[in-house]
């Protein structure tokens, strides 16, 4: 498995700049959007466990017209960069090769003149297969589901530069979180936090996602032990901080994981935060969580959040169970 030369060329091209892709998405402004693969600093580990991601194939279920190389190539570069930045450890001698197909890619936007805000949600589904590199044996097959959201002030309600910034934020978070699910949950590897690199403070302010906040490393750790500290910021006055704190809960949640964010969930008044709260319940995916989502679906009036609820209930949750494979 593997086409290391092609992936290396993809990574190099994305580090040099953005890639234009014409994205068909509900509510997006007309014309192409430039999607950036986040530049994640390579780890300094001496002997990390290699996880080689082949170029992601585009499945038949992906709709819309895209200027080459398109979302699948951007995700390949972004996820490969994240995997290289996590100092992965453990697993099988020789590491893994992974093949994925992009079964779904969609951006949804909602602009509100009343509150001068634009909000964007991303849906990405990858069906993947991981093999041991030393003998080609399949060790895992499954689905990685990325669900991310971003919001920004947009007085005009149709400012293409705002739409572009939001697209970069949700793309970065989705790619990094799906790579984390692959390494930490599917392959049961140990990982250090990764660090995204920005050209300058202006770029950081413009394109930083929830995983670039101080709570980002805790979210990508995917550990229930990280939740109590994050929850101390759940009442912060800044909605982005609250959303980032709840994203720690979301990424620590999956089938079989405990819910450690308190016995009672008070839904936030801010839609960005509420999106992440729904994401946490959808990733957990147990009977109680799905009951909460069904109740919320009957009350939710925000169109992007209502779609997330409908989507999550249709699949019985969106989470990935942790691998129970024994250590070699």
Would you tell me the crossing angle of helices 70-84 and 160-180 to the nearest 10 degrees?
50
Decide if 177 contacts 220 (C-beta within 8 A). Answer: yes
Model pLDDT for residues 143-163, shown as the tens digit of each residue: 999 999 999 987 565 567 888
Give dist(CA 160, CA 158) in Å, integer.
Answer: 6
Q: What is the mean pLDDT of the chain?
A: 86
Q: Which CATH architecture has domain 1-210?
A: 3-Layer(aba) Sandwich (3.40)
Residues above pLDDT 90, as percent of the chain: 66
Residue carrying the six token digits 């038949």: 60
Q: What is the pLDDT of residue 326?
A: 53
Model pLDDT for residues 229-280, shown as the tens digit of each residue: 999 999 999 999 999 999 999 999 999 999 999 888 999 999 999 999 999 9
Query: 280, 34, 320: which is closest to 149 by C-alpha?
Result: 280
- For the record, the structure tokens of 128 come out as 């993947």
Q: What is the pLDDT of residue 33?
A: 59
Decide if 22 contacts 68 (C-beta within 8 A). Answer: no
Flag whether pLDDT at 1 surpasses 80.
no
Give me the helices (H) in 111-226, please. 160-180, 201-207, 216-221
Flag whether pLDDT at 89 surpasses 60.
yes
Q: Is the pTM of this model over 0.75?
A: yes
Give me the helices (H) in the chain, please. 4-16, 70-84, 160-180, 201-207, 216-221, 227-231, 239-251, 271-284, 287-299, 303-314
What does the H/E/C string look like for 288-306? HHHHHHHHHHHHCCCHHHH
How is the chain split among helix, strand and coil, in percent rounded to 5?
A: 40, 20, 40
Model pLDDT for residues 8-54, shown as the tens digit of each residue: 444 434 433 333 333 334 445 445 656 668 889 888 777 899 999 99
One-character DSSP codes across 35-80? E----BPPP--SSPPPEEEPPPEEPTT--S---TTHHHHHHHHHHH
Domain boundaries, the chain: 1-210, 213-319
Model pLDDT for residues 302-317, shown as the tens digit of each residue: 999 999 999 999 999 9
Flag whether pLDDT at 116 surpasses 50.
yes
């Amino acid at each position: 498995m593997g086409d290391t030369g092609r992936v290396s060329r993809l990574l190099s091209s994305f580090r040099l700049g953005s890639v234009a892709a014409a994205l068909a998405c509900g509510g997006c402004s007309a014309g192409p959007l430039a999607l950036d693969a986040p530049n994640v600093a390579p780890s300094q580990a001496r002997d990390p466990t290699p996880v080689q991601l082949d170029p992601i194939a585009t499945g038949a279920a992906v709709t819309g017209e895209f200027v080459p190389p398109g979302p699948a190539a951007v995700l390949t570069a972004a996820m490969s960069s994240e995997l290289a930045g996590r100092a992965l450890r453990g697993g099988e001698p020789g590491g893994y090769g992974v093949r994925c197909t992009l079964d779904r890619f969609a951006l949804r936007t909602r602009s509100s003149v009343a509150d001068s805000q634009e909000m964007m949600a991303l849906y990405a589904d990858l069906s993947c297969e991981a093999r041991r590199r030393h003998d080609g044996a399949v060790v895992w097959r499954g689905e990685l589901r990325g669900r991310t959201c971003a919001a920004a002030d947009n007085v005009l309600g149709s400012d293409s530069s705002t739409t572009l910034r939001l697209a970069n934020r949700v793309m970065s978070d989705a790619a990094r979180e799906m790579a984390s699910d692959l390494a930490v949950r599917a392959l049961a590897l140990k990982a250090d936090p990764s660090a995204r690199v920005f050209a300058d403070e202006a770029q950081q302010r413009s394109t930083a996602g929830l995983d670039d906040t101080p709570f980002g490393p805790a979210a990508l750790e995917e550990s229930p032990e990280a939740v109590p500290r994050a929850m101390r910021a759940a009442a912060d006055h800044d909605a982005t901080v609250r959303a980032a704190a709840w994203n720690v809960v979301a990424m620590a949640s999956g089938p079989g994981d405990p819910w450690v964010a308190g016995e009672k969930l008070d839904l936030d008044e801010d839609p960005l935060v509420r999106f992440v709260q729904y994401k946490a319940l959808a990733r957990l995916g147990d009977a109680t969580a799905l009951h909460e989502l069904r109740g919320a679906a009957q009350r939710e009036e925000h169109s992007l959040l209502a779609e997330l609820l409908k989507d999550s209930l249709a699949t019985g949750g969106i989470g990935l169970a942790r691998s129970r494979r024994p250590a070699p």
